[in-house]
Amino acid sequence: MQKEHDRDAVAEGVAEAVRFDRVTKRFGDHTVLDGLDLAVGRGERVTLIGPSGSGKTTILRLLMTLERVTEGVIHVGGEPFSHMPGAGAGAAGGLVPASERYLADRRRGIGMVFQHFNLFPHMSVLENVVEAPVHVLKENREEAAERARALLGMVGLADKVDARPTRLSGGQQQRVAIARALAMRPEILLLDEVTSALDPELVAEVLDVLRDVARDTDITLLCVTHEMGFARDVSDRILMFDQGRIVESGRAGELLDAPRHERTRAFLSAVR
Ligand code: ADP
Ligand code: MG
């Protein structure tokens, strides 16, 4: 019974965006992820659900290179990510832990939006979106600004480009953060409870923007949310986590309508 859910596979013929191979993450003697196998296909939309503390954010932070794996290997786009090819014959199939420089290069294709938007308060909305493409991707400032305007239009903020973020509502600020992430042209976008800090009446406008992103792009989405309606609409697959393990994985509608595991049923009835 364990094995069936342990190895979470991408459909045959689909290229892999992300693969966790037996990934363990410990903080001291606290095991947060326990030999996790997880695969996400290119362009796939996967939602992670599960109780607080089950390791969902840790998975995203490993992909943002904000944490390092304790054991196992993460691959992104079919290439090693947590590790890199070592000189000579090292352990683990010639892989050695990735250097900072290797990580800095590989994480560029990955964007993240968090619960807290952390916009630069001293910059305009437009400057917030232009900053990283110019400084990290070395894009031409005029072209980056033009693209930023288009992205801000897409998230419904064309009239706020010159405003300071502090003048905006939480929902508007989070939409700026989404535009800022998209400005980096991510192949993979990580969304960690992006509506959890918002007043209830502002949640829908942010989720609607993300529905547009899901519809209009082929970005691979890895999403943590307690918004089950949203999860149903955008996800190809939902993974239910508990204590650093996948207890159940299935197509969104099937998992939500007919969860097979008691743990999933209990969780879903608690969040609905
Ligand atoms: P989730 O996002 O599912 O709520 P997290 O991935 O944030 O879970 O956390 C999983 C567990 O890891 C929690 O018990 C949390 O306290 C612990 N944890 C996360 N980050 C750290 C850290 N930097 N140091 C120690 N423990 C941590
Ligand atoms: Mg979390």
Q: Where are the domains of the chain?
A: 2-271
CATH code of 2-271, in short, is 3.40.50.300
State whether the beta carbon of 225 lies less than 6 angstroms from ligand 1: no
Q: What is the pLDDT of residue 88?
A: 63
Q: Does ligand 1 have an atom closer than 6 angstroms to the CB of 52?
A: yes
Name which of 188, 185, 191 is nearest 133 in CA terms.
Answer: 185
Q: 98 CA distance to ligand 1 centroid (A)?
A: 22
Residue in the structure block whose two tokens are 């801000």: 152
Count of alpha carbons within 13 angstroms of residue 195, beta-carbon side: 20
Name the token pair of 167. Answer: 């003048």
Please give the Cα distance from 95 to 72 (Å, whole number). 11
Q: Which residues does 266 contact at the CB level (< 8 Å), separation at least 6?
A: none
What residue owns the CA closest to ligand 1's atom 13?
A: 53
* pLDDT at residue 272 in the model: 81
Q: Are 172 and 160 in contact (CB under 8 A)?
A: yes
Ligand 1 atom nearest to CA at 54: 3
Q: Which three-class secondary structure state does DSSP give residue 15?
A: coil
**Tokens 């232009």 belong to residue:** 130
Does 51 sit in the ligand 1 pocket, CB within 6 Å? no
Query: Which residue, chain included where needed, has tokens 């916009």?
Result: 119
Per-residue model confidence as pLDDT tens for the chain (272 residues): 344 444 566 777 779 999 999 999 999 999 999 999 999 999 999 999 999 999 999 999 999 999 999 999 999 999 999 999 887 655 555 899 999 999 999 999 999 999 988 899 999 999 999 999 999 999 999 999 999 999 999 999 999 999 999 999 999 999 999 999 999 999 999 999 999 999 999 999 999 999 999 999 999 999 999 999 999 999 999 999 999 999 999 999 999 999 999 999 999 999 98
Ligand number nearest CA of 114 is 2
Q: Is the CB of 57 under 6 A from ligand 1?
A: yes
How much is the pLDDT for 11? 73
Position 86 scores a pLDDT of 84
CA distance 151 to 13: 32
Q: Ligand 1 in contact with 55 (CB < 6 A)?
A: yes
Number of residues written out for the chain: 272
Task: Look at residue 7 in the predicted model and tell me its pLDDT.
Answer: 54
Name the E strands within 53-204. Answer: 71-76, 79-80, 83-85, 95-97, 110-113, 188-192
Relative to the CA of 244, which ligand 1 atom is closest? Answer: 10
Q: What is the dihedral of CA 181, 45, 207, 199, to 10 degrees?
A: -80
- H-only helix segments in 99-140: 100-106, 125-135
- Residue 112's DSSP bridge partners are 190
Centre of ligand 1 from the C-alpha of residue 56, in Å: 8
Residues near 26 by beta carbon (within 8 Å), at least 6 away in sequence: 32, 70
Nearest to 152 by CA among 192, 110, 119: 119
Q: Given ligand 1 and candidates 26, 58, 62, 116, which is best to mutate, with the most ligand atoms within 8 Å of its CB? A: 58
156 CB less than 6 Å from ligand 1? Answer: no
State residue 91's pLDDT score. Answer: 54
Pocket test for ligand 1, best of 25, 26, 30 (most atoms within 8 A of CB): 30
Shortest-distance ligand to the CA of residue 192: 2
Position 203 scores a pLDDT of 95
121: which 2 tokens?
């308060």
- Number of Cβ atoms within 10 Å of the Cβ of 232: 15
Instruction: Write the CB contacts of 137 (distance below 8 Å, at least 6 apart in sequence).
Output: 108, 184, 185
Ligand nearest to the CA of 27: 1
pTM, two decimal places: 0.93
53 lines ligand 1 (CB under 6 A): yes
CA 235 to chain centroid: 13
